[in-house]
């Protein structure tokens, strides 16, 4: 009988420690998380560069509990016609997933989609002539798809 009582208390104590640990982890998220997220999801090249640097060093941002997961360009090609859109798609996923988790997706969707389009156009700026025209056209198509279906 003592053994059951001790086991029951140990289980209850473990549950309490787990709940307290979860509350502590939630409280540990830095207060500026929304500002950091916003700074990484703007349309500018500097915002993109900040996000790329952070993505390369995710462990430095672990306290923020960001969702870095991505399926890149979802069901569309990541590198259509050889244009490397995959990193632009990853940043787009980052914005969508983290704003959805924050409960502020609707207020930010338009800007995230616009940032995606600017990222794609920066990719296309590496080309010239007919290749750039084809890239710009593909970028426009990807942008329209996320606006309509994202």
Active site residues: 92
DSSP 43: S
- b or e along 2-25 (b: 16 or more beta carbons within 10 Å of the residue's beta carbon)? eeeeeeeeeeeeeeeeeeeeeeee
Cβ atoms of 116 and 92 closer than 8 Å: yes
Cα 86 to its chain centre, rounded Å, is: 13
């Amino acid at each position: 009988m003592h053994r059951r009582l001790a086991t029951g208390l140990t289980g209850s104590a473990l549950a309490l420690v787990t709940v307290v640990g979860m509350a502590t982890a939630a409280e540990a998220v830095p207060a500026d998380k929304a500002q950091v997220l916003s700074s990484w999801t703007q349309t500018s090249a500097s915002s993109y560069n900040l996000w790329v640097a952070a993505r390369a060093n995710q462990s430095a941002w672990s306290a923020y509990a960001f969702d870095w997961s991505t399926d890149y360009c979802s069901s569309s090609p990541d590198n259509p016609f050889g244009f490397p859109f995959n990193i632009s798609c990853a940043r787009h996923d980052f914005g969508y997933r983290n704003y959805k988790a924050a409960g502020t997706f609707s207020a930010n969707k338009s800007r995230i989609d616009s940032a995606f389009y600017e990222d794609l156009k920066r990719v296309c700026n590496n080309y010239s002539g007919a290749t750039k025209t084809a890239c710009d056209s593909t970028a426009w198509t990807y942008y329209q798809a996320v606006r309509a279906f994202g």
